[in-house]
Structure 1
């Protein structure tokens, strides 16, 4: 018999009926009717091609065939319970794996996680790059993505004042620093870098102006490494905390989302 065709519900009813030797008491345990128990047992007997119970003047009794499989059946249910506990244990784990853009990790995330970890020394974080990460393959709990929304996953936006143009405090060069996704900045710029974090560093070094997320620039602005030129621009894109629904519902992930988004 294929695993996918195992009559698990019927086997569960068999276990209860065998322990009580009573369809009525088995029904009470399972919160169903005695008739439903009888139907499950008859269906199981049809599936297995054997008689499991007999009614005698003394009451209900197991046949030798029914009794033969009980030890293995109950061992199997114990292993099911252990498997469920093992899967549930991950929800109480203090270890979280996060995928995030490398520039955001360096400029914002690492400091946030350090502050969060200070409140709970048992927390453990693993941080990976976000390039085409598959949640199932990478065993991820949460990801931070740049875009217009959470896509196919559940998500929550990280608050930001939008896009800001920054430059070195002394003004720097009068050129736009281009980076992939820089939202309309001059693609022919003489200064091109790989990501927004490098654009921010290039601006701090005086190479030009960089248009980046205010969230990404927040620490450098506070430290005086760069200054804002002009007014912030509100745009449709931003950083999003995202995860598939099963991960999103986990208590440890919800707690992390609340801490990062606060």
Structure 2
């Protein structure tokens, strides 16, 4: 069934004016001018086809039509407030789901989550391994770390330097694809490339932020096309618990 479009702003103004029986005091409550209150009331009366107020020697009075609808209107606004509180309960939750590549989770993210958790023992985290872009809603994720050149049309914050560094010596350990006679080993991610280089298998070009987080001895820094980002859709990014975590991770 198609719902009737309700003039909610006008009804809100009507509720305030009815409580105060004064356009001036209603305007003070709503932080608008008395003229704006009067315009909203007249527009509401036009939509409803009834007169809601009449002027009396002592000031404003509600008409029978206005009085008849007031109790249900106020009950409706209370239900709206209950609905908003119910939707905001997740804001007070201390559970956060984070998606990140395994290598940066191990060396950079997990130590920081451990420090962050010390600020409040009630925090709970779920960490998901994700190397590719994901559907935040389907995965029920609050925040993600991505290694990319362009995070896309999404709220984001860059992390670390946009640099790559070399670890180890000798033939290449490759993790970003490519071909060549000097590739000694191909692995799945930068973390494995780092471990291979540390084991003496060859040299690996990895993100500067990962090398720093892992305490690796590196050399020959160079500008990189990709970098790490904190990312989330705007609704998740606006959550107080997400904003607080973003601030802590970026400190």
TM-score, normalized by the shorter chain, greater than 0.5: yes
Shift of residue 56, structure 1, vs aligned partner: 4.8
TM-score (normalizing by structure 1):
0.77
Equivalent pairs counted in the alignment come to 250
Which of 187, 211, 215 does residue 217 from structure 1 map onto? Answer: 211
Cα distance change, pair 159–57 in 1 and its aligned pair in 2 (3 A)? closer
**Alpha-carbon distance in 2 for matches of 1:253, 1:67:** 45
Shift of residue 246, structure 1, vs aligned partner: 4.9
**Alpha-carbon distance in 2 for matches of 1:259, 1:120:** 13
Aligned residues of 1:178 and 1:187 also touching (Cα < 8 A): no
Say if 2:202 is the partner of 1:208: yes
Tell me the residue number matched to 2:166: 165
Tell me the residue number matched to 1:81: 81
Pick which of 249-258 and 63-72 moved more: 249-258
Show structure 2 runs of 5+ residues with no match.
Answer: none
1:102-154 deviation line (CA, Å, top 9, x unaligned): 22212321122112212332322222233322344444332211123543234
Shift of residue 8, structure 1, vs aligned partner: 0.6
Aligned residues of 1:22 and 1:60 also touching (Cα < 8 A): yes
Matches within 5 A, 1:6-21: 6-21=6-21
Cα distance change, pair 241–49 in 1 and its aligned pair in 2 (3 A)? same
Tell me the residue number matched to 2:173: 177
**Alpha-carbon distance in 2 for matches of 1:8, 1:17:** 14
TM-score (normalizing by structure 2):
0.80
Say if 2:42 is the partner of 1:36: no
**Alpha-carbon distance in 1 for matches of 2:185, 2:52:** 80
RMSD (CA atoms)? 3.3
Shift of residue 160, structure 1, vs aligned partner: 4.3
Tell me the residue number matched to 1:194: 188
